[in-house]
Structure 1
Amino acid sequence: MNYHYPLDDSWSTQEVIDVVNFFSCVEKAYEKSVNRGELLAAYRKFKQVVPGKSEEKSYFRDFEKASGYASFPVVKKARNSEQSAISMN
């Protein structure tokens, strides 16, 4: 991983941890698989930090530019799936 997560300097340490944890789950979904419940819980915490839809899209776009991993398809697949593990392979 040679990229940086999109973060806001005004966030608390816990908020940074929550956002990084969510993006880490997205990475896991692309690289191998991630537990669906873990991903959805991380997304809920992410939404507490980034509640606005346009703000969310901005962070998703920045993360995709840096990493090549699109967050929205992962969240959508997790919401629409009954499988316990989510994989984007």
Structure 2
Amino acid sequence: MKNAIIIASLGLASVLSFGVSAAEQISAEQAQSLQSMGTVSVSQVGSSPMDMNSALSAKAEKEGASGYRIIEARSGNTWHATAELYK
């Protein structure tokens, strides 16, 4: 039982710490006051929209962006999304 609580606590802590440091998805209105840094794309097989947002956020953060705006998204058997990065 203690192991399950520890694992759950670690999982929650990692999600919370990721959310704090990750780049945020922003709206078109918010993007107007920010400087564009280029674009990133992600593609995955059998993933959810939440997985795509996580992947875009991770790529945006890796590039040094504070925010990203999804400019293209397709779904089906595979997902593909492109986002513009902003600082």
- Using structure 1 for the length normalisation, give the TM-score: 0.28
Look at both structures and tell me which one has the larger radius of gyration over its CA atoms.
2
Give the number of the structure whose residues are more often helix, by fraction.
1
The structure in which a higher percent of residues are strand is 2
